Chain A
Amino acid sequence: MDGSGLGDDLRLVALVCVSATRPIIVAWRLLSGQASEKGQEAAVTRSLIEQVLQGAGPQAIGLLLADALYADGPLLAWLKYRQGIDALVSLPEDRLLYQDLKGLADGQLIDWTHHRYLRMIQGHKQVREVEVAAAGELTSWDGFTEKAASYGVPNASLWACLIRDVTTEETAAEPPRALVSTRSFADGFAALQAFRPRWHIEDDAYRELKEGWGLEQQRWGRDLAAALGRTTLTCLAFNTAQVYRLQAGERLASMAIRRLRRHRQRELGSAPAVLYVAGCYGVFSLEALLDVLGSAPRESLLPSLAKPSSPDSPT
């Protein structure tokens, strides 16, 4: 889940499937006016989740990834205890839970572990080194625990981890970032790896929508309805293009072409021509066209087609 501004007055909030090879936008809202102000995304999260669950069933979403704007205690409780969806969310530094976690780490009550992994930045491989420290059974988030209690779960708790980027001295000097989750991960590094696909939303979805599809620059009109239509049609086209780029999608694309052309005769080949003359039109292969014009090729590179037993028999 993530949101991004489209100009000064619109905000697109989208629920994106990042578990596929390519991101697929499964639900979205275009917000305007007050609703488009940053920080309002959590308000539309429920409706997006409900929309997807209604259409795709209760098991459709296993883990929801979101940035700090969605670090909302009642939302996490609703996801976990009403919808059965775990969430893994960035935890802002100003939260009590963050301070508690950092206190545990500073007091050496939880251990830091060191990890190295490879990541791609703008096509270049880069080794990143991190230190992580994690703790479970955390309850210092009243908004979460109180809402969970109202759902009949009096002892609800959260799992969280600190992540310190130690790749360079400069990054190591920065305060650690934190993730919080309703799921207990094996360790902080596992949570970090689970969280990484969220960047597909920003890198492969929003950036592509804005820079590649021109969604921010060209709204097709000043009217909000025109922008809504433009956004909707672009998101649909974006998804089709993503499927097209999947291996399965490539097969699908050729299948689609075949289905579209099923009604055409096989002997037309892959690039037939349509001619309009004398109030009629006809579809011709290149060879047939030359034949009609009296200049048939002396030899054909096309194999002869076996005649089907009936016009309707499968080919």
Chain B
Amino acid sequence: MAWYRNDKAAVAEALRRGERPDLATTMASGPLDELVALHQELGIFAILDELEVQRARAGVPDELLLHTLATLPFVEQASLSGASEVLFREPAVLLQLGWAPVQIRQGSNGRHRHPQGRQEESLPCHPDTLRDATLAYRGVSVAAGATRGGAVTLPAAIGPWQGLRRGWQRLRR
């Protein structure tokens, strides 16, 4: 498994040669897709990107983990593991969140419970890794970051309550 280059002509040529694709996904436009897009449009991901992470680690970028976490509440399953399983079966949404195909297919870290490592049913990212990401942001104020991010669409949607989104929330006070 390797990283892929954006080259539509090369893909078309390979298909004409009869080469079988490694992967094929749709770019779906369902409610989850739209909610994630709206989340992005409202500047929620931009707000989260301004959080300070209180740790240093290798592996999946923290921004990607946090974007994934921020999407989990939209999934029907309420538990972290259940929601993760549902979300990681939505490659179109994962791509939208910034996951690369190689990360989705191959997994992003070596954290596996199975003694033989990654299994076919393994998720690209263990739910515990996502849970750890929530802990990595402890004691961090979201409100400061919420004043920026360029989100102007939420106030437009809620009419006279312009600017309230700027005060979104402090994770802990």
* A residues at B contact (CB < 8 Å): 17, 19-20, 24, 26-29, 47, 51-52, 54-57, 60, 213-215, 217-218, 220-221, 223, 225-226, 228-230, 232-241, 243-244, 246, 248-249, 252-257, 259-260, 270-284, 289, 292-294
Contact = CB atoms under 8 A, between A and B. Distances in A.
Contacts of B5: 279-281
Kindly state the interface size class of chain B when it binds its partner: 35 or more
A276 B2 CA distance: 11
5 contacts: A27-B167, A223-B135, A274-B24, A276-B4, A282-B11
B20 A277 contact: yes
A56 B72 CA distance: 28
Given A229-B137, A253-B34, A280-B11, A19 B164 contact: no
B27 to A, nearest CB: 5
Nearest to B37: A256
B40 interface: yes
Interface in B84-100: 95-96
Contacts of A281: 4-7, 11, 101
B164 A26 contact: yes
Interface of B: 2, 4-12, 14-16, 19-29, 33-35, 37-42, 44, 47, 69-74, 78-80, 95-96, 101, 131, 134-135, 137-139, 142-143, 146-147, 153-154, 156-173
Contacts of B168: 26-27, 55, 236
A60 B160 CA distance: 8
Contacts of A26: 161, 164-165, 167-168
B29 A271 contact: yes
A257 to B, nearest CB: 5
Nearest to A23: B158
Contacts of B4: 276, 279-281
A252 B70 contact: no
Contacts of B142: 232
Given A240-B44, A276-B101, A281-B11, A228 B131 contact: no
